[in-house]
Amino acid sequence: MVRALGAEKLVFTSSNSSIEQFAIAEAEGARLTIDDLHLLERLPRRATQTSLRINFGNSCSDNIIGGARSKFGMTPDQARQAAMQLKANGITSIGLHCMDSANHTDSTKKTREAIDLITFARQLVDEGGVDISSLNFGGGLGIPYRPNDTAFDVTDYALKIRAALTKYFYVIPDLSMECGRFITGPSGYLVTEVTGVYRKPHSVIGLNVSTAAMPRVSIYPNAYHHVSLPGAAGTELIPTDVVGSMCESMDKFCEARPLPMPHQGDLCLIHDVGAHCISMSNNYNGMLRPPEFLMDNSSIYMISRAESFQDVTSRFINMEVKENDKIVEKA
Ligand SMILES: Cc1ncc(COP(=O)(O)O)c(C=O)c1O
């Protein structure tokens, strides 16, 4: 997909990836990032650009990406060992990667994380004689999901990284980042229709889309996505749950959110879903994915159609039970 978009440089930041996945990424010319010593064995022989993902496990780490039981990264000691191994194997382009935390709008933590990586890289050069040619600061830059959240100060972040790089390196390594949410998040809206306004006796608004189309709200306990009901704006705010139609208690876009009361058929917008909507969606409870539209100034283009029942069943294999109780594929 990335090649099809016309990208010239690729990074493949892996987690528990297979020999086949590494081979495909290497054949496309990607820099391969591994996050465990064991994965050294899975690297293709021809791979010349390899990076090591480190989990520093310090105060910059959060509990989702970089905490004590994180599935990502190796310890700094393991990274040292892996770097020496890569050097011994003749890999000339060794890089380092770190993403220990996500979704911070205060840039201080992400800055410290990047500086940890830069100083560790310097140590490897000085103590291990390893030439570090690439640094990848991962993603994790936050966006202001809540109305009172501040925006991430990307200029301050960049200037502090530049200062650290020029302090520690004469020749600056290649730099890369993997920002997903920061780039795509604020550009995406889930556009829905109000299908019902209920009293249970608490107030509930039903939508024609379920969280299967936008699972982030069900996966992360504190996930907040702003909800707006333009047709009801200016009316009394009532603590309200906004739900889909799945038989699933977590099928809620928000709980007890002060919202104006819409009418059936009104428009309801869920904000900042660009990073975690269709790409995270699923068919749980038989839900079908909605279509996607691209808005370019005043033009709107459909860029993927709505999923159909046939799309979902097209992979099914029709089986039948024969008289001898054997299950076979239907002719
Ligand atoms: C290795 C890596 N890079 C980049 C990202 C993207 O993160 P974000 O969308 O928060 O920038 C993730 C997300 O978890 C990740 O694990």
**What's the CATH number where 198 sits?**
2.40.37.10
Residues 6+ apart with CB under 8 A from 327: 319, 320, 321
Phi-psi region of 164 (alpha: psi -120 to 50; beta: other; left: phi over 0): alpha
d(CA 219, CA 210): 14
Q: Is 201 helix (H, G, I), strand (E, B) or coil?
A: coil
Q: How many CA atoms lie within 13 A of 54 on its CB side?
A: 28
Nearest-5° Cα angle at 235, 233 to 240: 90
Identify the sign of the CA torsion 157, 158, 161, 162: negative
What is the value of pTM for the model shown?
0.93
Mutate to test the pocket of ligand 1, among 70, 96, 99, 273 (most ligand atoms within 8 A of CB): 99
Final residue before a domain boundary, out of 152, 184, 216 = 184
Cα(66) to centroid(ligand 1), Å = 11
Cα–Cα dist 302/300, whole Å:
7
Does a cis peptide bond (omega within 30 degrees of 0) precede residue 239? no
- Full domain range(s) for residue 65: 11-184
What does the DSSP 8-state code read for residue 30?
P
Tell me how far the alpha carbon of residue 180 lies from the centroid of ligand 1, in angstroms: 6
- For residue 138 and ligand 1, the question of a CB distance below 6 A is answered with yes
In angstroms, what is the span from residue 138 Cα to ligand 1's centroid? 6
pLDDT tens-digit map of 48-74 = 899 999 999 888 888 888 888 899 999
| Domain count along the chain | 2
- Does residue 331 carry a pLDDT above 90? no
Q: Does residue 325 lie in a domain region?
A: no
pLDDT of residue 275: 96
Say whether both 220 and 157 belong to one domain: no
**Whose C-alpha lies nearest to ligand 1, atom 10?**
140
Q: Confidence band (pLDDT; 50, 70, 90) for 280?
A: very high
Q: Is the CB of 292 under 6 A from ligand 1?
A: no
Say yes or no: 82 and 194 in one domain. no
Last residue of a domain, one of 139, 169, 184: 184
Q: Note the pLDDT of residue 261.
A: 98
Q: At what angle do helices 107-128 and 154-168 cross, to 10 degrees?
A: 20
Cα–Cα distance measured from residue 129 to residue 155, given in angstroms and rounded to the nearest whole number = 33
Asked if residue 318 is part of any domain, the answer here is no
Same domain, 158 and 87: yes
